[in-house]
Amino acid sequence: MSTRPLAIFGGTFDPIHIGHLTVAWEAAELLDAEVRLMPANVPPHRSPPLASAAERVAMLRAALAGQSRLVLDARELERDGPSYTVDTLHELRAEQGARPLVLLLGADAFAGLPTWNRWRELFDFAHVGVLSRPGAEVARPAVLAEEVAARRVDNVAALHAEPCGKLVELAVTPLEVSATRIRELLAAGRDPRYLLPAGLFDDPVLLAPYRR
Ligand SMILES: Nc1ncnc2c1ncn2[C@@H]1O[C@H](COP(=O)(O)OP(=O)(O)OP(=O)(O)O)[C@@H](O)[C@H]1O
Ligand SMILES: O=C(O)c1ccc[n+]([C@@H]2O[C@H](COP(=O)([O-])O)[C@@H](O)[C@H]2O)c1
């Protein structure tokens, strides 16, 4: 079997920035996958976002306009309570049959995986693609290192051949950009225009959550 994978890139996207877009785009190329950006309604393990779900979706729509390789999947906004990834992948697996699913995670998010809800089950539903991120070259906890050793493949073809269970490290262009930094700049009255996607940086309504 070889089917074009479906890759999921979840995040708070408060706001979406050029780091997200660059790594998602490169993952789509490297994996030859459809990539869906999936905003979390209630992101587990962090304080609530400054922008509402509707505001974050409006920013995602503006950021994704004009191309078709990266698409929005807003399904988590329809669920109340913490947006646990295992629940989302369970739902996607039921929809997608045996199609390969790939959960994309920045290296910082991946390092925290053992704290996630039912984290080992994630591999029963999807492969994991770890996206390099500058500043996230931290030691991985031992349980995670064991999981990596058992599941790691170097060739993305292995991800096309099976529906789930493998792990691949994707060397994407390192961009030291974070939503935290962008929020800080906007709150200070600065203009981080080139850290933001076109379609966002000149829109006072979309950026209002960070200036109020
Ligand atoms: N510059 C980047 N390079 C690689 N991965 C990134 C980058 N920015 C974000 N990610 C990844 O995108 C996903 C969603 O991240 P998130 O929306 O929390 O953005 P963030 O910039 O990390 O935000 P914050 O600063 O608010 O924590 C996570 O898997 C994260 O690791
Ligand atoms: O399922 C979990 O327990 C879990 C814990 C922390 C984060 N996540 C997901 O990881 C993605 C990135 O989270 P964040 O906080 O870095 O934006 C987002 O889709 C979250 O819903 C999921």
- Per-residue pLDDT tens digits for 173-200: 999 999 999 999 999 999 999 999 999 9
In angstroms, the CA 148 to CA 168 distance is 9
Answer for the pair 105, 131: CB distance below 8 angstroms, yes or no: yes
In angstroms, the CA 192 to CA 88 distance is 33
* Segment 147-174, tens digit of pLDDT: 999 999 999 999 999 999 999 999 999 9
Answer for the pair 90, 83: CB distance below 8 angstroms, yes or no: no
Residues 38, 106, 67: CA angle, nearest 5 degrees: 50
Answer for the pair 59, 51: CB distance below 8 angstroms, yes or no: yes
- Which domains occur in the chain, in start order? 6-176 (3.40.50.620)
Pick the residue whose CA is nearest to atom 7 on ligand 1.
Answer: 19
Nearest ligand 1 atom, CA 104: 29
**62-to-17, 106, 142, 201 alpha-carbon distances in Å:** 11, 22, 40, 10
Q: ipTM, 2 decimals?
A: 0.99
Q: Is the CB of 21 under 6 A from ligand 1?
A: no
This model's pTM is above 0.95: yes
